[in-house]
Amino acid sequence: MDISKILTGAQVEPQSRQPMYLQIAGIIGEKIRGLILTSGTKLPPERELAALFRVSRTTAINAYRYLEQQELVVTRVGSGTYVAELPNGTAEEGSAVPWIQLMTPFPRLPLSTMLREILDIDFSGDTISLAAGMPDPALYPVELLQHIMGGSDNSINPIDLGHIPTEGYGPLRRLVARLLADRDIESTGENVMITAGSQQGLYLLSKALLEPGDYVVVESPTFIGAHQVFSASGARILGLPITGRSNFNMLEDYLVRYRPKLLYLIPTYHNPTGRVMSASERRELLRLAARHRLVVVEDDPYSSLYYGEKPPASLKALDTYGGVVYLSTYSKVLFPGLRTGYVVANPALINRMALEKQFIDLHSNNLSQWLLCRFLACGALDEHLALVRSEYKKRRDALAKALHRYCGTDLSFEIPGGGFFIWCRINRLFSSSRLLHQATSEGVSFVPGEAFYVHPPEGEKELRLCFATHAEKPLQEGTRRLARALDGIKRTGKQQDTVVHQPVKPII
Ligand SMILES: Cc1ncc(COP(=O)(O)O)c(C=O)c1O
């Protein structure tokens, strides 16, 4: 749709007492409320909007800011300005079908669009995104997959293309169980369920276990997708601060005071901090959890991506009371579009999750499961892991070196032993959201820390950089741009953010 056509002919009145930016916002707002411009429609870039109305770029920017305050548009950094989903009752009477009124209320979580926006950033331009936690497409095992798909000894049995059990493709479930045995995780096909990625596993768990008002304990900071899915189920979230050693006193206090339904953890190469819970902490945690018969959800996408020593045994391997639910995924070690992960849990819970899964997709995609099964069966994963580990190690070191070199004392961080992320702290007075604004204009992006916290603006001085998606050169260039952004803010002299008390909505 050519939006400029919808706006052509609309004029602002320079002599009017109403500022021109409000006039422009009024014109666009009217089209949005009248559903002529519908949710998700991309609006003209600021420069084009300014040309359309013959006003300055600042006026155009102010018009979009005003519309954003009215929650009529959203800005996605690096991508542009879009018509927002209208809150109930915003649309005007008389539209053909009142879609907005017909829809069920959607929980307005502060970060509800965060994941979508990270994925939406336009990677085609010159921007170097260190934001999304994605593997590098150049490292996907495409040739091997093509070979598997084309090989005559790999022909698919037509039976496998029909409906299969909701819990997953039998040969894959059994193979996953066998591979887990190498990591001391005891399982049979019976207690393994294949899911459309770990995100679906988290969703099914929350459907099976959580009711509005239940308490859930998560690390703070934690993975945004988990926080969102638990909050959307109506659960109340208790944050367990990650500061060096695990805070078991606080956890015990939560257990006694709130009797939470579950504790969600990423003990190995944590997203976003990269932290690894030590073997002794794992044992201490499990003793405490067993005493309180607490369900511990161990989310483990990164443990095979280690760049030195292997990490300690998983919580699931150490579990003696049967309370650990284990989730993993092939999104990080292979590629996210495979949408294949799994849950290992008590068969009763697997059964309940399967009932929930039937409502959403009957079963996960057969072809992905078949392909993954062939890939794992021929032992290709080990070879692939060796390759990506050595590549990601180089990238982690390149980013760490560049950060030391270009960002000096402005940022501090620890080098993680594995995973995808370097978690940085800003040693200046400004926040990471402020830095992100400046950084995107320099052509680099990241995720500001508060996105991962239960109570923003906690984390406003922190940021997550992903080193997996880009090779060493772009990582160095991205860091140079980050350094320019830091210098740019320091030069303005405004070290303190002007707005600190509003809940900050990170823009990515
Ligand atoms: C800790 C954690 N859990 C789960 C996921 C979701 O993975 P999937 O692509 O398998 O849904 C991610 C992805 O970023 C993650 O970092």
Query: Who has greater pLDDT, 401 or 16?
Result: 401
Report the alpha-carbon distance of residue 497 to residue 437 in Å, rounded: 12
Of 8-12, 15-19, 402-406, minimum mean pLDDT range: 8-12
Question: How many Å apart are CA 212 and CA 134, to the nearest integer?
Answer: 32
In this predicted structure, the answer to whether residue 437 has a pLDDT above a threshold of 70 is yes
Q: Ligand 1 pocket check: which of 198, 206, 266, 276 to mutate, most ligand atoms within 8 Å of Cβ? A: 198
Specify the pTM. 0.80
If one compares 53 and 354, the residue with the highest pLDDT of the two is 354
- In total, the chain counts a number of residues equal to 508
CA of 78 to the centre of ligand 1 (A): 23
**What's the chain's average pLDDT?**
88
Return the pLDDT at 111.
54
> Which pLDDT score, from 0 to 100, does residue 95 have?
59
Nearest CA to ligand 1 atom 7: 198
Of 497 and 341, the structure prediction assigns the larger pLDDT to 341
Average pLDDT over residues 499-505: 40
Which of these ranges, 184-198, 249-263, 493-507, has the smallest mean pLDDT? 493-507
pLDDT digits (tens, 9 = 90+) for 219-253: 999 999 999 999 999 999 999 998 877 789 999 99
Q: Ligand 1 pocket: which residues have CB below 6 Å?
A: 133, 197-199, 223, 225, 266, 271, 299, 301, 329, 331, 336, 341
Distance spanning both ends of the chain, measured CA to CA: 24
Note the pLDDT of residue 140: 96
Residue 412, pLDDT > 80, answer: yes
| 313 or 507: which leads in pLDDT | 313
Q: Taking residues 31-57, what's their average pLDDT?
A: 86
**Burial environment of residue 179 by CB neighbours within 10 A (0 to 12, 13 to 18, 19 or more):** middle
- Taking only the tens place, the pLDDT of each residue in 259-296 is 999 999 999 999 999 999 999 999 999 999 999 999 99
What domains are there in the chain, each with its CATH number? 3-106 (1.10.10.10), 125-133+383-492 (3.90.1150.10), 142-378 (3.40.640.10)
| Average pLDDT value for residue range 52-78 | 89
Asked whether the beta carbons of 195 and 326 are under 8 A apart, the reply is: no
Ligand 1 center–CA 230 separation, angstroms: 14
Query: What's the CA-to-centroid distance between 199 and ligand 1, angstroms?
Result: 6
Q: Is the pLDDT of residue 14 over 50?
A: yes
Whether 472 and 395 have beta carbons less than 8 Å apart is answered as yes
Task: Return the minimum-mean-pLDDT range out of 118-127, 300-309, 311-320.
Answer: 118-127
CA 74, CA 64: separation in Å to the nearest integer? Answer: 9
> Distance from the CA of 224 to the center of ligand 1, in angstroms?
9
Whether residue 132 has pLDDT greater than 90 = no
Mean pLDDT of 453-457: 82
Of all protein residues, whose CA lies closest to atom 14 belonging to ligand 1? Answer: 133
- Ligand 1 centroid to residue 331 C-alpha, Å: 7
DSSP string of 392-429, one letter each residue:
HHHHHHHHHHHIIIIIGGGEEE---SBSSEEEEEE-SS
Give yes or no for a contact between 353 and 193, defined as CB atoms under 8 angstroms apart.
yes
- Residues 362-401 have pLDDT tens digits of 999 999 999 999 999 999 999 999 999 999 999 999 999 9
The confidence score (pLDDT) of residue 69 equals 87
Tokens of 501: 């008390």
Whether residue 198 has pLDDT greater than 60: yes
User: pLDDT tens for residues 314-335?
Assistant: 999 999 999 999 999 999 999 9
Please state the atom number of ligand 1 nearest to the C-alpha of residue 202. Answer: 4
Which helix (H) or strand (E) element contains residue 329?
strand 324-329
Q: 108 falls in which pLDDT band (50, 70, 90)?
A: low
170-192 pLDDT, tens digit per residue, is: 999 999 999 999 999 999 888 99
pLDDT of residue 433: 86
Distance from C-alpha of 417 to C-alpha of 465, rounded to nearest angstrom:
15
Q: What tokens does 210 get?
A: 């959580």
Distance from the CA of 339 to the center of ligand 1, in angstroms? 10
pLDDT interval class at 100 (50, 70, 90) = low
Question: Can you tell me the mean pLDDT for 154-177?
Answer: 92
Please report the pLDDT score of residue 119 as a whole number. Answer: 45
Q: What's the whole-number mean pLDDT along residues 103-116?
A: 59
pLDDT band at residue 33 under the 50/70/90 scheme: confident
The b/e string for 109-147 (b: 16+ C-beta within 10 A; e otherwise) is ebbbbbbebbebbebeeebbbbbbbbbbeebbbeeebee
Q: What is the pLDDT of residue 508?
A: 30
Higher pLDDT residue, 13 or 291? 291
Residue of 150 and 235 predicted with greater confidence: 235
Residue 2 confidence class, pLDDT cut points 50, 70, 90 = low
- pLDDT attached to residue 88: 67
- Both tokens of 226, joined, read 């988990």
Q: What pLDDT does 504 receive?
A: 40
- Please, what sign has the CA dihedral across residues 387, 393, 396, 398? negative
> Counting atoms of ligand 1 from 1, which one is nearest the CA of 223?
1
Q: What is the pLDDT of residue 245?
A: 76
Higher pLDDT, 504 or 166: 166
Strands 262-265 and 295-299, by their bridges, are: parallel
Average pLDDT over residues 438-467: 90
